[in-house]
């Protein structure tokens, strides 16, 4: 078997992949579709896939200004979990986690979902109380979640320095064993391939520059590849959602901030779980390639710059080295940033907009990767039926006028 795969690797390398079938087509845009999804990240592609698969729609396009997954989908640190505080969020994120558990089979594409557990560390009494409250809330919602003592943290993840004399000693942690990581690119590619197989047109290098409206109803989009008409349009553009909303004449309660991450040189397997610490602020896991994948809190200023900065690297690595002293001589390989769309309550917006036929899915901030399949699934329902799926009804835009906010700053587990 191994001999065969080495042989086929060599053959494919020498043939310059000439006879490979494309995983999805690259059609010219048609003049009109039933539904157009703007944004070819994981959420947009998942939406198109579920529209075609579960709602029988056949005339769908996804338009992407760059390449598939080139936004936050391909820039994130891939942590998947569902341990949110409020019932509304637990319902949505747990729906997603259940879809993750069968996603490779559903898409017939290995998204490398690895349920290696997610630890959220507590460093003070406030952290411990917040985690205990959240664990109890999780359990009441049927979400697996447990609390670990310092000794149990050490047993579960021996690499963490659990001595009492560090600056922020580890007093305990929450553990969601069903949480873990997945391969971000594969998620975009898997949904793209499966959507394409159901007839969805995926159009890359096609930037939306305007949203056409008539008498309060959406009519189509202006793009760098011409006008495309559609009576239903879904905006799924993460950090650029406010830009798209402005094109349609309304405003979103969103701030766009860079969120940075970095990876080290690859090393042999040393860390078999995900560790997050909101107080010292860092989170870390090890990729299948062996790199340590490390993330920071959001940049404190708003910006559309997708770059990393040395100050953030320095601050984050101080926290990492304090928790994992044995990483102190590890060399860093690369750093980057993505633009995250943060709502005042750190929860997403999924639903209708003031423009009839125009729907929006945004505001996932620092935590939308984990929601990719669930978000696409409920957003497809919302677009197809013209009304929210019960799981996304609490996340409509009008909660910012009714006041029914879903405050998940604590569970976001990334400093805002």
- From 76-84, 93-101, 220-228, 230-238, give the range in contact with ligand PYC by CB under 6 A: 76-84
Binding flag, residue 295, ligand PYC (CB under 6 A): yes
Q: How far is the CB of 258 from ligand FAD (least distance, A)?
A: 8
How many positions of this chain bind ligand PYC (CB under 6 A)?
A: 9
Residue of the chain from 24, 35, 37, 77 that contacts ligand FAD (CB under 6 A): 77
Spatial CA neighbour of 306 closest among 282, 340, 283: 340
Residue of the chain from 283, 324, 359, 395 that contacts ligand PYC (CB under 6 A): 283
Which one of ligand FAD, ligand PYC, none interacts with residue 413, CB within 5 to 8 A by kind? ligand PYC
Which one of ligand PYC, ligand FAD, none interacts with residue 150, CB within 5 to 8 A by kind? none
Q: How far is the CB of 231 from ligand FAD (least distance, A)?
A: 19
Count CB atoms within 10 A of the CB of residue 146: 13
Q: How far is the CB of 109 from ligand FAD (least distance, A)?
A: 17
The 10 Å CB-count burial string (b at 16+, else e) for 314-347 is eebbebbbbbbeebeebeeeebebbbbbbbebbb
Q: Give the footprint of ligand FAD on residues 15-44 (CB under 6 A).
A: 38-44
- From 76-84, 88-96, 98-106, 380-388, give the range in contact with ligand FAD by CB under 6 A: 76-84
Binding mask 298-317 for ligand PYC (x = CB under 6 A): --------------------
Spatial CA neighbour of 329 closest among 338, 321, 341: 321
Q: How far is the CB of 131 from ligand FAD (least distance, A)?
A: 18
Binding mask 284-323 for ligand FAD (x = CB under 6 A): -----------x----------------------------
Spatial CA neighbour of 236 closest among 363, 56, 339: 363
Residue of the chain from 49, 65, 143, 242 that contacts ligand FAD (CB under 6 A): 65
* Cα–Cα distance for residue pair 135/122, rounded to 1 Å: 13
Q: Give the footprint of ligand PYC on residues 365-394 (CB under 6 A).
A: 366-367
Closer residue to ligand PYC in complex, CB, 48/342: 342
- From 6-14, 116-124, 317-325, 365-373, give the range in contact with ligand FAD by CB under 6 A: 365-373
Closer residue to ligand FAD in complex, CB, 89/260: 260
Q: Which residues pair with 342 in a beta bridge?
A: 255, 364
Residue of the chain from 29, 71, 91, 179 that contacts ligand FAD (CB under 6 A): 71
Closer residue to ligand FAD in complex, CB, 100/171: 100
Closer residue to ligand FAD in complex, CB, 80/171: 80
Closer residue to ligand FAD in complex, CB, 152/222: 222
Spatial CA neighbour of 394 closest among 325, 343, 323, 336: 343
Spatial CA neighbour of 377 closest among 399, 401, 353, 350: 350
Binding flag, residue 413, ligand PYC (CB under 6 A): yes
Q: What are phi and psi of 290, to 5 degrees?
A: 105, -5
Which residue bears the tokens 């405050």?
407
Q: Give the footprint of ligand FAD on residues 79-98 (CB under 6 A).
A: 79
Tokens of 187: 């998620």
Spatial CA neighbour of 52 closest among 316, 381, 293: 381
Task: State how beta strands 291-298 and 255-266 pair.
Answer: antiparallel
Binding flag, residue 70, ligand FAD (CB under 6 A): yes
Spatial CA neighbour of 109 closest among 224, 193, 5: 193
Closer residue to ligand PYC in complex, CB, 54/288: 288
Q: How far is the CB of 125 from ligand FAD (least distance, A)?
A: 27
Contact set with ligand FAD (CB under 6 A): 38-44, 63-66, 70-73, 75-79, 207-208, 236-238, 240, 259-261, 295, 338, 340, 364, 366-370
Instruction: List residues binding ligand PYC (CB under 6 A).
Output: 77, 79, 81, 283, 295, 366-367, 413-414
């Amino acid at each position: 078997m191994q001999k065969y795969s080495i042989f086929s690797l060599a053959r494919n390398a020498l043939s310059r992949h000439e006879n490979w079938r494309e995983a999805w087509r690259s059609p010219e845009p048609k003049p009109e579709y039933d539904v157009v999804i703007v944004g070819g990240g994981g959420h947009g592609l998942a939406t198109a896939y579920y529209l075609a698969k579960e709602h029988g729609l056949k005339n769908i396009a996804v338009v992407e200004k760059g390449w598939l997954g080139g936004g936050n989908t391909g820039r994130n640190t891939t942590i998947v979990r569902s341990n949110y505080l409020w019932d509304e969020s637990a319902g949505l994120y747990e729906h997603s986690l259940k879809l993750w558990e069968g996603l490779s089979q559903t898409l017939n594409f290995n998204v490398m979902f690895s349920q290696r557990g997610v630890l959220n560390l507590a460093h003070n009494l406030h952290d411990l109380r917040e985690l205990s409250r959240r664990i109890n809330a999780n359990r009441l919602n049927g979400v697996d979640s447990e609390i670990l003592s310092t000794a149990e943290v050490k047993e579960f993840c021996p690499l963490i320095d659990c001595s009492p004399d560090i600056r922020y000693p580890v007093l305990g942690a929450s553990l969601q064993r069903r949480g873990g990581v997945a391969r971000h690119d594969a998620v975009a590619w898997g949904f793209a391939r499966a959507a394409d197989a159901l007839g969805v047109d995926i159009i890359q290098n096609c930037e939306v520059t305007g949203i056409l409206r008539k008498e309060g109803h959406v009519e189509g989009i202006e793009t760098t590849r011409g006008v495309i008409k559609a009576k239903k349009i879904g905006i799924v553009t993460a950090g650029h959602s406010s830009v798209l909303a402005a094109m349609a004449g309304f405003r979103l309660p969103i701030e766009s901030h860079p969120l940075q991450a970095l990876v080290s040189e690859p090393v042999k397997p040393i860390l078999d779980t995900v560790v997050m610490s909101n107080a010292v602020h860092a989170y870390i896991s090890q990729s299948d390639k062996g790199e340590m994948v490390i993330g920071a809190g959001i940049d404190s200023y708003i910006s559309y710059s997708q770059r990393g900065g040395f100050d953030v690297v320095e601050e984050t690595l101080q926290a990492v080295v304090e928790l994992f002293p044995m990483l102190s001589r590890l060399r860093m390989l690369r750093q980057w940033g993505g633009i995250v769309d943060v709502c005042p309550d750190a929860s997403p917006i999924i639903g209708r907009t003031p423009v009839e036929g125009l729907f929006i899915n945004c505001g996932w901030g620092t935590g939308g990767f984990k929601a990719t399949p669930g978000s696409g699934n409920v957003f497809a329902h919302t677009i197809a039926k013209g009304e929210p799926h019960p799981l996304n009804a609490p996340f409509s835009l009008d909660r910012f006028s009714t006041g029914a906010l879903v405050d998940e700053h604590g569970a976001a587990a990334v400093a805002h």
